Amino acid sequence: MSENKLFDICIVGGGIVGAATAYSFQQVYPEMKVLLIEKENRPAPHQTGHNSGVIHSGIYYKPGSYKAKNCVKGKDQLIAFAKEHGIKHDVCGKIIVATEESEFPHMEKVFNNGIANGLTDNRWISAAEIKEIEPHCTGIKGIWVPYTGIIDFVGATAKMLEITESLNSESKVVFNEEVISYKEESGVKNIRTNKASYRAKYMVFCGGLQSDRLAKKDGVKLDMSIVGFRGDYYELTDAAKHKVRNLIYPVPNPEFPFLGVHFTRMTDGSMECGPNAVFSFKREGYGKTDFSLKDAAEALAFRGTWNLLFKHFGFAYNEYRRAFSKPLFLKTLQRLIPDLTMEDLQPGRAGVRAMALGLDGETIDDFRIEQKGNSLHVLNAPSPAATASLAIGNQIREMAEARFALKDKVSQ
């Protein structure tokens, strides 16, 4: 099968960042012929569909960073989108809880970051106020964050794609097709999938867990690599759901690039506990023993992986132990809710997070987008990318407008 029509832009990846990018182009340029290609059979099949379902506030992120600016702006856009289109969501607020005085200095930094990012309604709460908000939670000091919420990210992604196709009958969203090659000839990208061929003036790659591979195939020289870290969740049983009302987070450890195991009420009413963070031997592997020789070999051949693991060996070892030990997982959860028991927990789902690592083993903490000819590659879109997706989509569109002079070329 071959598609001879020339599309204005092709977006690779049907997660929420890809969907938001397609949506942004189509909203601003209704005449634009947009093609989005997703290799799985549904929207949001990987990181988006396996994340914690939280609308982040922006309290954690370095003031002035793209993460901070896009999160604060993007959460408001996402909430407005959810209200307009009937996407399940609830801006329920969350608490960040300290259980030891040693956590106070970083907690102060987190609070001040929130103020600098415009989150002026956050407030300090006492141990007694923690109990008022979450009766089963025990802490010595907390931060109440009213901006945080929960949302159905898969539903939001599907709606963005639905609207994109509805705005222009010549736009197209394709599932079950994996992009194999893309060559630029005479200013046009010739795109081949496992099922068809397409043509487009420009491409935007939102490949998530595969972003570095897609960039390398396009000739982008990289000093980083994507390494997968799996996060496992438990769920509270029906009998234990009353022990969590909304969202409870620990004070994050500043030495590690994860927020820590937390409690989340999901939009379907379930209560999740997690995730941990363990090195994954398969980029898209959600089982504890999933293995891909290609993925494992690439990750272990990359110097940055070893540098990361050596720097944080104790953390990595403890996370891996906890992944296979329900008692150890429970012990971590009991720091926040002491009366949890083994019987309160049942196995939940898992997700894999794309960690962009430099050769030195340091995580690339902010968004990173590179240009190659008529292509833009989103190489790193870390959390809170789902929350910030609409803002990121607009940013990508604006970047394309500037670099490709799109306003003068659409549908010419």
Q: Dump the DSSP string for 12-32.
A: E--SHHHHHHHHHHHHH-TT-
> Residue 192 and residue 204: Cα distance in Å, rounded?
15
> Residue 290 and residue 156: Cα distance in Å, rounded?
29
pTM: 0.95
> Residue 111 and residue 94: Cα distance in Å, rounded?
13
Fold of 2-48+154-223+366-408: FAD/NAD(P)-binding domain (3.50.50)
For position 80, what pLDDT does the model report?
98
At 299, which helix (H) or strand (E)? helix 293-301
For position 409, what pLDDT does the model report?
61
Place of tokens 């982040």: 56
> Residue 14 and residue 77: Cα distance in Å, rounded?
19
> Residue 396 and residue 392: Cα distance in Å, rounded?
6
- Residue pLDDT, tens place only, 95-136: 999 999 999 999 999 999 999 999 999 999 999 999 999 999
Tell me the domain boundaries of the chain: 2-48+154-223+366-408, 94-146+225-358
Angle (CA) 294 377 166, round 5°: 110
Check: CB of residue 253 under 8 Å from CB of residue 303: no
Give the pair of three-digit tokens for residue 215: 């960039």
Taking alpha carbons only, the member of 78, 12, 20 closest to residue 392 is 20
Fold of 94-146+225-358: D-Amino Acid Oxidase; Chain A, domain 2 (3.30.9)
For the beta carbon of residue 223, count every other beta carbon within 10 angstroms.
Answer: 9
For position 408, what pLDDT does the model report?
66
Q: Tens of pLDDT along the chain (412 residues)?
A: 456 789 999 999 999 999 999 999 999 999 999 999 999 999 999 999 999 999 999 999 999 999 999 999 999 999 999 999 999 999 999 999 999 999 999 999 999 999 999 999 999 999 999 999 999 999 999 999 999 999 999 999 999 999 999 999 999 999 999 999 999 999 899 999 999 999 999 999 999 999 999 999 999 999 999 999 999 999 999 999 999 999 999 999 888 777 889 999 999 999 999 999 999 999 999 999 999 999 999 999 999 999 999 988 888 888 889 999 999 999 999 999 999 999 999 999 999 999 999 999 999 988 899 999 999 999 999 899 999 999 999 999 999 999 988 776 664 5
Output helix, strand, coil percentages for the chain, rounded to the nearest 5: 35, 30, 35
- Beta-bridged to residue 11, according to DSSP, are 36, 204
At 225, which helix (H) or strand (E)? strand 224-236
Check: CB of residue 247 under 8 Å from CB of residue 262: yes
For the beta carbon of residue 16, count every other beta carbon within 10 angstroms.
Answer: 34
β-strands 271-274, 262-265: how paired?
antiparallel
Check: CB of residue 32 under 8 Å from CB of residue 349: no
For position 3, what pLDDT does the model report?
60
Residue type, 147: Y
For position 406, what pLDDT does the model report?
78
